Every structure is written in structure tokens, then in C-alpha cells.
Amino acid sequence: MYSRDVTDTSGEQQEGGWLSSLWLPCGCAMIGVVIALAQAFGVLSDLPDTVAVKVNQSEIYMTDYQRALALMASEKRGELTLQDKQLVLDRLIEEELLVQHGMSLDLLRKDKNFRSDVVQSLMIRVANTVEVSEGWGEVNNDTIPESEKALRQFIAQLRAEAEITWVE
């Protein structure tokens, strides 16, 4: 039912099953999978060792990939499989694509809620980074918490470096 006649090089007819006709396509598919995985994990890549993958012009760093792998490993009982590692990489790529799409839509300017979330996140980040570079604006009020001082100094530095034009 699934067999066909195959002529060998001697001209004789041989019985060949449908399975024998799949060897070449399956072999090519496997080679393609191996090459794709090798590229995904940087084996056949010209990217620096610090970069896991490049999405358009943005790089996803190995440290971020390793952190995501560690998070997945902490939630899994066994060792991570190649499929797990590919899933982590796929999610990082998808996240980067969404970020790039949001930037292309100029959401930071057009969506006030999004802008507020980003500003709040930056303020928390700066406030948590109490070590402030020298040369930033001086804040000497001892009643202000260190995190607030750091934030004020950071904003003072940004203002000093910015070109601000007032509209009259």
C-alpha cells in the first residue's frame, strides 16, 4: 500500500517503502535544526562572547540569558533541556521585539500611564543606587533620606547636561 518500485543503478526494479523516501528530507531537516541551534547558542556566530543573541540592532547579553536560565532552573526539578534553553532564549527575543515595537510606537511620549511607570521605575532605580558620582549637585539637608538625595543629585546632573529651551 505504501510501497513503490525503485530502479537501482543496475536497472533492476527494487521494492522501496515510503520510509526509504524520507531519509533525505529528514536528514536535511536535522542538519537545519543543528545549524539553527548552533547559531542560537552562539556556536556559529560572530557575536562577542558577552552576547547571547542580537535582535535587530539590540543585543541580549549572556548575563541576562544566564539569569533567565537560572530562574527557570530554580523552578524545575531536573536539569534544563535544550528545549528549555531554547524556550528561555525565545522569550527573551520576544520581550526585546515587544520593547522595540513599543519604542517604534513612541509609547514613552504618547502613553501617559506607560511614561509614568517608566519614570517611577527609574526613580526607584536611582534612589536605590545611593553611591553617587562626584561632581553631582550637592544636597546637604540631613533630614532628607540618602535615597532621596541620590535622586535629587541625579536629576540635578541630568538638568546640568541637558539643553533646555524655554518657550516664551
Q: Is the pLDDT of residue 78 over 60?
A: yes
Q: Is the pLDDT of residue 7 over 50?
A: no
pLDDT given at position 126: 77
Of residues 134 and 12, the one with the higher pLDDT is 12
DSSP-derived 3-state class of residue 152: helix
Using the 8-state DSSP alphabet, how is residue 79 labeled?
P
Indicate yes or no: pTM above 0.95: no
End-to-end CA distance of the chain: 87
Of residues 113 and 136, the one with the higher pLDDT is 113
Q: How many CB atoms lie within 10 A of CB 151?
A: 23
pLDDT given at position 164: 73
pLDDT given at position 123: 83
Per-residue pLDDT reduced to its tens digit, 9-59: 555 555 555 555 666 565 656 666 666 666 666 555 577 888 888 899 888
Question: How far is residue 117 CA from its own chain's centroid?
Answer: 21
